[in-house]
Structure 1
């Protein structure tokens, strides 16, 4: 008879061939808590530290693979032991696992947002609706809200991944009922692998390099391959337990498996520090590579007596892994609220690290309390039994009664404050207001008859006028547009929110082909992600020697900005016809003139932005003429 999958109340699953002997008694899977710990630490470091772990977002994909693996194993085990899958009971277990901590985060976070006010209230109603219906990802896509947009500090942005998982939990049991009708185990595995391939292919094909990647990153259809890969592993272990048991008993095979698993974890850590979300590779093979590495790590850690499994089961990692759900839920809302509460602190350098440390301490504290008093009791005992335990004995003593009444009062106040917070949504953040003012200014200065080229018959001035300048930028340039237009009347501005430098070569090629590129090219990009030197070289090649280029460096509380500014500085130093507008240093002593995101300038900040551009243009204008061979006393080269 085929051995069934073993599962504990914590939803860990395994075959007898793969469960470490020390853990068979409790039916849990060795190593998975440690993998969860690595995943949640990567995500937390990605969000809370200034650029230390630029690829830490991949922890979400590690979670996806683990979830697909565990949930599929749970369903297979129930089918094998009872002959059926009870959908109602499955969904109730998921509700007991997920809803208590989620409700606590949403209610308390919304109430605190009301206290702080301002930007953290923007779009709060949509976010709460997404959290309560597990549709955050699709609501954000429908609203055009970018995951990479720094202008809107969404309080519950991290819940997009929970939405993807919960949609999987809703649909996958139904799909399993159909899948289990397929007589061939190999065919079942093949169908699930085909689902993973289709999802990864959709991400690859829909993604456009240089464009915003939110649609493919948030989409359940384009980002479910990790869940499918995890499911495929569970089906594989279920279909061939005897063969796997024989293999697991071979010490050499177990050592090889553990070695591959350890190498996969090392590779995941390397990607976490080297794979920024802006890289096209992420969406064209990178994330599915992360999912495959996670699969290898799982298989390498679960084998009988696996050294890797024992290492991942060390007390610190296991402790973090058991609380990983709460840590993930709390860390981002806490960080957003800390940033809102400390508007005078910068989000880079020492201040940035300090804010991250404050957020981390608060996150650990509330996560531990939530796990101890809310999540674990309800998961183990259910909603009604936990409620009875909370209320039992209240009438036995006055202190307990007072404590109970206080708890009820706090809960009612928090719920009321959450409703008030949703109603207080200002609609737009301070940075959005600045950006929209810039867009209106551009529209009001745009002539319907303008070709975008220089004014006929007007020679360029020593300091070029606006009719000699093409400006290409992102939302920072948009916010500064009124001041740029006032300083350089007639300037041609092409600026878009969330634009990245990688899109500029194609924009320039279009302008060159249309004959609308002006003699001076002003480029203000790098706020939304790292830049590549090869892109800068392509920009100069397309613009040609007939155009001067001014690069505007970056002020943003993002981990990649130092690298962006260094690359821009080296590029400007290398070429005579390229100059750097030092926006970062110009605004450094006036961060109070920026919106609360410390990125987008208001009117006074926009004037500093325009002045930095003017200074750069003045330096270009004051360069002496380039010398030819005869100017050095060299003879002309004969033809």
Structure 2
């Protein structure tokens, strides 16, 4: 029948296993979610564990397409509205329970954890978190002041895929009759996604835009789609195994190669997660994530039913190990719960909460995900919203009359707490507020110093005009007995206190400034005639310093005539491991350069979280006073040499 021809190829529906379940896929889900958990709780172990999200994308792209193709083969149509309803049943209940539980807890904690909560809730329920985060400028502060629902960005990407792809697939099946023509659609979309991501990286676009964007992160989903279209009957394979040689690509040498690729992809995924690093953004996006997607695809294709070699069967058995299946089936809830719990711990206990706490959080995540799967996700998926509600009410009334009242009370608390959380959320985190105040103070100081410089310039011009004959303009030199501070947001947050401790200092600080900019800034200061003979460099927070970088700056200061250099160490949580590396480089350099003095802010603030904002990086008012005193003492020591 022509209608049937549109939707299936290779295996007639009456020949296929209508209720086929792909063995091993839950095991791969378990591995993917485990990578994400380790990445978030122990980033130093798996710095590239974020590829777990991309493996999920591959699985989703394959599974959604394969299931729609199976529906088309058996019914002659793809009911897109029914598909969307099934997705809502699968996704929304767990989100509702999580948000109505977590948001009131965040309200009682208060402060930084509530910043942007209204936008985050809107994004969670409309599956637009990724684009709302991009629009909000999810930038530098997101590293050290994590948002409660940041992990919803990937759910938003998937849900947007669920919205548009079934429509595209239906039209592709209707108008493109050959399998290779249909395969060109995901291949083209994936290639365009990679091209766009590469261009945006090349032009230096905001990394959040590149990473969060659906358009720039579509390639993993399209790889999964491509696999489903290449073997369109993979979710309704032949009942009679003797048909496989006629319809599949998984027998003989090719089948062995596919199975071997699946086995090799598993350890390769772990190795990639161990060596990929989010700080190398040009490599990570898109090529590192593409590599993770390809390895995920390597495992999925080996699980498909047409691969009949003993190696493939063994792989399915390994990935069907009961604990892996348990984790895989609950991977959605695990992914939902683990991040908000980690954020709550961050704001309650500080960014460096210990290993025991992390283990407890993982166990709590598994418990909550298990309860969500058993009592929320499965009933709604099986019975629908109305049926599940009826089952819950009957179960509660059957056990105790107090249970419905308790449930209603908890629901009321959740709703009220959520409303109050949104209404009372501060506009900025404590760190952002401190930096904003520092920017205002630094701007005031710069305007004052600019005014003084202009007056001095006018006075010099008047004296020069009184000369009987013109003289050549003098070569710019450093200003003796003055201090120039070049810093990042830490120095910016301490601008007022620095001005008190170093009243003659010129302060130039900027958010996210990196050490590599120091050379150019020093030259500009000299050209403007405002470079002091003592220079303070506070740029250890935003990038990894190397001995060569320090050598370049010291060479530049010598060239410009700077007498004394003070470098400030950085304070940061352990997950910002590059700060500790930069501090060691600064300390080592001080042993090689007699005119280099260390202002050891890291040591001065160590073990004193009360001096820092909730991000563990920026000093609060009390901490800024100590920061300024530490810098001032180092300046005094340097000038006395």
Structure-1-length-normalised TM-score: 0.84
Partner of 1:429: 429
Max Rg structure? 2
Partner of 2:376: 374
Change in Cα spacing, 1:483 to 1:214, as seen in structure 2 (3 Å) is same
Partner of 1:465: 482
Say if 1:212 and 1:499, in contact at 8 Å, map to a contact too.
Answer: no
Change in Cα spacing, 1:449 to 1:502, as seen in structure 2 (3 Å) is closer
Q: 1:369 Cα deviation (Å)?
A: 0.8
Partner of 1:94: 87
Structure 1 unaligned residues grouped into runs of 5+: 6-12, 18-22, 624-639
**1:190 and 2:171 aligned:** no
Q: 1:254 Cα deviation (Å)?
A: 3.7
Partner of 1:103: 96
Partner of 1:557: 573
Change in Cα spacing, 1:567 to 1:415, as seen in structure 2 (3 Å) is same
Q: 1:520 Cα deviation (Å)?
A: 5.0
Q: Tell which deviates more after alignment, 28-37 or 409-418.
A: 28-37
Say if 1:211 and 1:499, in contact at 8 Å, map to a contact too.
Answer: no
Give the 3-state SS of the residue equivalent to 1:392 in structure 2. helix
Q: 1:255 Cα deviation (Å)?
A: 3.8
Give the 3-state SS of the residue equivalent to 1:465 in structure 2. strand
| Rounded Cα–Cα distance in structure 1 between residues aligned with 2:554 and 2:182 | 53
Aligned residue pairs, count: 597
Summarize the alignment of residues 331-370 of structure 1 with structure 2, pairs less than 5 Å apart.
Answer: 331-342=338-349, 346-348=350-352, 351-370=353-372
**1:136 and 2:136 aligned:** no
Change in Cα spacing, 1:433 to 1:142, as seen in structure 2 (3 Å) is same
| Rounded Cα–Cα distance in structure 1 between residues aligned with 2:160 and 2:125 | 12
Give the 3-state SS of the residue equivalent to 1:442 in structure 2. helix
Partner of 2:195: 201
Change in Cα spacing, 1:277 to 1:364, as seen in structure 2 (3 Å) is same
Partner of 1:322: 329
Deviations 1:80-124 (CA, angstroms, capped at 9, x unpaired): 222221111100111111111111111111111122222112111
Q: Tell which deviates more after alignment, 295-304 or 371-380.
A: 295-304
Change in Cα spacing, 1:520 to 1:293, as seen in structure 2 (3 Å) is farther
Q: 1:310 Cα deviation (Å)?
A: 2.2
Give the 3-state SS of the residue equivalent to 2:400 in structure 1. helix
Q: Tell which deviates more after alignment, 532-541 or 576-585.
A: 532-541
| Rounded Cα–Cα distance in structure 2 between residues aligned with 1:297 and 1:93 | 27
Change in Cα spacing, 1:490 to 1:262, as seen in structure 2 (3 Å) is farther
Partner of 2:241: none
Change in Cα spacing, 1:482 to 1:326, as seen in structure 2 (3 Å) is same
**1:611 and 2:629 aligned:** yes
Partner of 2:415: 415
Partner of 1:299: 301
Change in Cα spacing, 1:197 to 1:141, as seen in structure 2 (3 Å) is same
Deviations 1:424-467 (CA, angstroms, capped at 9, x unpaired): 11222222221111111111111288499999998655xx523x
Q: 1:497 Cα deviation (Å)?
A: 3.2
Q: 1:39 Cα deviation (Å)?
A: 1.5
Summarize the alignment of residues 579-594 of structure 1 with structure 2, pairs less than 5 Å apart.
Answer: 579-594=597-612
Say if 2:482 and 2:534, in contact at 8 Å, map to a contact too.
Answer: no
Summarize the alignment of residues 136-535 of structure 1 with structure 2, pairs less than 5 Å apart.
Answer: 136-146=129-139, 149-180=142-173, 181-207=175-201, 212-238=206-232, 246-250=248-252, 252-279=253-280, 280-302=282-304, 303-304=307-308, 305=310, 306=312, 307-342=314-349, 346-348=350-352, 351-392=353-394, 397=398, 399-447=399-447, 450=450, 461=480, 465-466=482-483, 469-473=484-488, 475-489=489-503, 491-501=505-515, 520-528=534-542, 530=544
Change in Cα spacing, 1:512 to 1:253, as seen in structure 2 (3 Å) is farther
Give the 3-state SS of the residue equivalent to 1:222 in structure 2. helix
| Rounded Cα–Cα distance in structure 2 between residues aligned with 1:14 and 1:367 | 39
Q: 1:34 Cα deviation (Å)?
A: 1.8
Say if 2:37 and 2:338, in contact at 8 Å, map to a contact too.
Answer: yes
| Rounded Cα–Cα distance in structure 2 between residues aligned with 1:615 and 1:209 | 42
Say if 2:515 and 2:540, in contact at 8 Å, map to a contact too.
Answer: yes
Give the 3-state SS of the residue equivalent to 1:261 in structure 2. helix
| Rounded Cα–Cα distance in structure 2 between residues aligned with 1:264 and 1:517 | 56
Say if 1:124 and 1:155, in contact at 8 Å, map to a contact too.
Answer: yes
Higher share in helix: 2
Q: Tell which deviates more after alignment, 559-568 or 115-124.
A: 559-568
| Rounded Cα–Cα distance in structure 2 between residues aligned with 1:244 and 1:543 | 75
Change in Cα spacing, 1:255 to 1:451, as seen in structure 2 (3 Å) is farther
Structure 2 unaligned residues grouped into runs of 5+: 238-243, 458-475
| Rounded Cα–Cα distance in structure 2 between residues aligned with 1:16 and 1:526 | 62
Instruction: Give RMSD over aligned pairs.
Output: 3.5
Structure-2-length-normalised TM-score: 0.83
| Rounded Cα–Cα distance in structure 2 between residues aligned with 1:504 and 1:228 | 43
Give the 3-state SS of the residue equivalent to 1:471 in structure 2. strand
